[in-house]
Amino acid sequence: MDNNRIDIKNIPVKVETYKPEQPNQTKYASRDRIYVRSVKGLHQSLRRNMGFIFMALFMLLPWIQYNGSQAILLNIGEQKFNIFALTLWPQDFTILAWIFVIAAYALFFVTAFYGRVWCGYLCPQSVWTFIFMWFEEKIQGSRNQRMTLDQAPWTVSKFAKKALTHFCWLAFALLTSLIFVGYFTPVGPLFIEFFTFQAGFWAVISVLFFAACTYGNAGWMREIMCTHICPYARFQSAMFDKDTFTVTYDEKRGETRGPRSRKDKDYKEKGLGDCIDCNLCVHVCPTGIDIRNGLQYECINCGACIDACDDTMAKMGYPPGLISYTTEHSLNGKPTKVLRPKLVGYFVILLIVCAAFATNLYLRKPLELDIIRDRGALYRETPEGLIENTYTLSIINKSQQAKTYQLAVSGVNNYTWLGPTEITIAGGDSTNVPVSLALDPYSTAKPVLDIEFSVTELSDDGHKVSQGNKFFAGR
């Protein structure tokens, strides 16, 4: 018998799970509509001003002209992006990739430092949602008036207010959709052709599609985009730490909550904190959460609850900051470490990526050459007994000015050049130049020659590009 053997004994384990009885609750509860109350304050003024600047830039940039054409035109059909003096082609994909990488690490850095301020202040979903809520408030009234209106039976007045609200939503969604599509096609002709019913099929489909998305997201879905669809809300916790500034409720100061008179100066002796339980922080939250329940992924750090709470504290004669941008360490009486490894790491990587982007942009040549051989035959013999190879030189002028270039070839002697030796290409344009080289097969002993085509700019800059290829001598 093996003395080292350990006897196995089966131990029955019963796991009990607490499930509260909720007989009236369906499996999939319907979403409760959030009636957001307007609030004024420092953070909301900052958010509105930043949103206004963002929206103004979005609306005006497509209309700016540069060198007689649209300054920003992301022409997918022609596969080129014009951004003022910069023209990007499919060969410049790395530049766009660097831009996205920079944006990602900038977002990581800001999030690690100040939480989801991007979501609350500049995210397009938030900006458009707040604009739609502004229409709703101006037409249907304050929060309490909107709640009363929804509970009231349908009347002519209610129908008119609802219809006007949705008309404004649809009109603004259509306007912003036309502007957005105007980044990808000339914006002036797009507006004229759309409203005169002369726009192309794909232009109309694109405008209507993005208008419907804007209307649905900002008018109906709103916080659902932030809480269920946007992936940023899910992985943001990986960037948070105890030194990240987030919108936080000071539980030690605020609890225990309870109403009281403004003249009640002995509320602390009654065991009450500074929170008077007015629930304004909940009423002004665009995602409908109670910040007093602690940090939640639904919070977009817009600061609306801070302004509402500070206003209440001022009326009660209490110091502000019951809800504020602070850190977990600060709430626990510990010093906040701003320069910490995570934040420094994000910043260093951001600097490296920016440097790589600047280097890539600096080394980018405003001239591109690609050589395509005749696919029908490697070579052909002319009536004069010469061997001829045919090529197509695809030349791209990446600058915004017309340029003249000289074409040449090296690596072969005593050849005959058939085709233009100088060409002029408009700014931001490309052209294909058919070229043939003819050679006496007895002038070389090699069956295959290594040659190199070159394109040189005839200007003071003298940019030059070259690319190698083969010449088949037929021997």
User: Percent of the chain having pLDDT more than 70?
Assistant: 93
175 domain residue, yes or no: no
Q: Say what the alpha-carbon torsion angle 213, 217, 220, 225 is, to the nearest 10 degrees.
A: 140
What is the pLDDT at residue 16? 42
438 domain residue, yes or no: yes
State whether 314 and 373 are in the same domain.
no
Q: What is the DSSP letter of 152?
A: S
State whether 327 and 371 are in the same domain.
no
Where in the sequence is the domain holding 303, given as residue range(s)? 241-331
- pLDDT one-digit tens code per residue, 167-222: 999 999 999 999 999 999 999 999 999 999 999 999 999 999 999 999 999 999 99
State whether 319 and 401 are in the same domain.
no
State whether 381 and 435 are in the same domain.
yes
State whether 378 and 300 are in the same domain.
no
Closest CA to 286 of 47, 30, 25: 47
272 domain residue, yes or no: yes
Specify which residues 403 forms β-bridges with. Answer: 425
Distance CA 392, CA 381 (A): 19
State whether 374 and 327 are in the same domain.
no
CA angle 470, 474, 475 (to 5 degrees): 110
State whether 392 and 446 are in the same domain.
yes
256 domain residue, yes or no: yes
End-to-end, the C-alpha distance of the chain in Å comes to 86
205 domain residue, yes or no: no
Distance CA 283, CA 35 (A): 7
Mean pLDDT lowest among 261-265, 304-308, 324-328? 261-265
State whether 373 and 314 are in the same domain.
no
For the beta carbon of residue 296, count every other beta carbon within 10 angstroms: 13
Closest CA to 224 of 302, 298, 118: 298
445 domain residue, yes or no: yes
Sign of CA dihedral 103, 104, 107, 108: negative
Closest CA to 131 of 215, 30, 236: 215
Distance CA 354, CA 348 (A): 10
Return the structure tokens found at 460: 């003071």
Specify which residues 394 forms β-bridges with. Answer: 370, 432
What is the pLDDT at residue 30? 52
pLDDT band of 11, cuts 50, 70, 90: very low
319 domain residue, yes or no: yes
pLDDT band of 8, cuts 50, 70, 90: very low
Is the per-residue pLDDT at 1 higher than 80? Answer: no
Please give the distance of CA 275 from its chain centroid, rounded to a whole number: 38
- pLDDT one-digit tens code per residue, 325-335: 999 999 888 99
Residue 406 contacts residue 444 (beta carbons within 8 Å): no
Q: What is the DSSP letter of 428?
A: T
Distance CA 152, CA 159 (A): 11
User: Percent of the chain having pLDDT more than 90?
Assistant: 65
Q: Omega into 256 within 30° of 0, i.e. cis?
A: yes
Distance CA 46, CA 39 (A): 12
State whether 247 and 301 are in the same domain.
yes
Region 263-275 average pLDDT: 90
- H-only helix segments in 318-363: 328-331, 341-363
Mean pLDDT lowest among 22-31, 179-188, 361-370, 449-458? 22-31
User: Of the candidates 305, 331, 357, which is a domain's last residue?
Assistant: 331
Distance CA 152, CA 145 (A): 10
Which CATH number covers residue 376? 2.60.40.10
Q: Say what the alpha-carbon torsion angle 18, 21, 25, 27 is, to the nearest 10 degrees.
A: 40
Q: Which residue has the higher pLDDT, 26 or 249?
A: 249
User: Of the candidates 311, 331, 351, which is a domain's last residue?
Assistant: 331
State whether 293 and 380 are in the same domain.
no
Rg (CA), the chain: 33
Residue 469 contacts residue 389 (beta carbons within 8 Å): no
User: Of the candidates 331, 351, 381, which is a domain's last residue?
Assistant: 331
Closest CA to 165 of 140, 144, 128: 140
pLDDT band of 365, cuts 50, 70, 90: confident
State whether 323 and 381 are in the same domain.
no
State whether 371 and 468 are in the same domain.
yes
pLDDT band of 9, cuts 50, 70, 90: very low
Number of structural domains, the chain?
2
What is the pLDDT at residue 20? 43
336 domain residue, yes or no: no
Residue 241 contacts residue 340 (beta carbons within 8 Å): yes
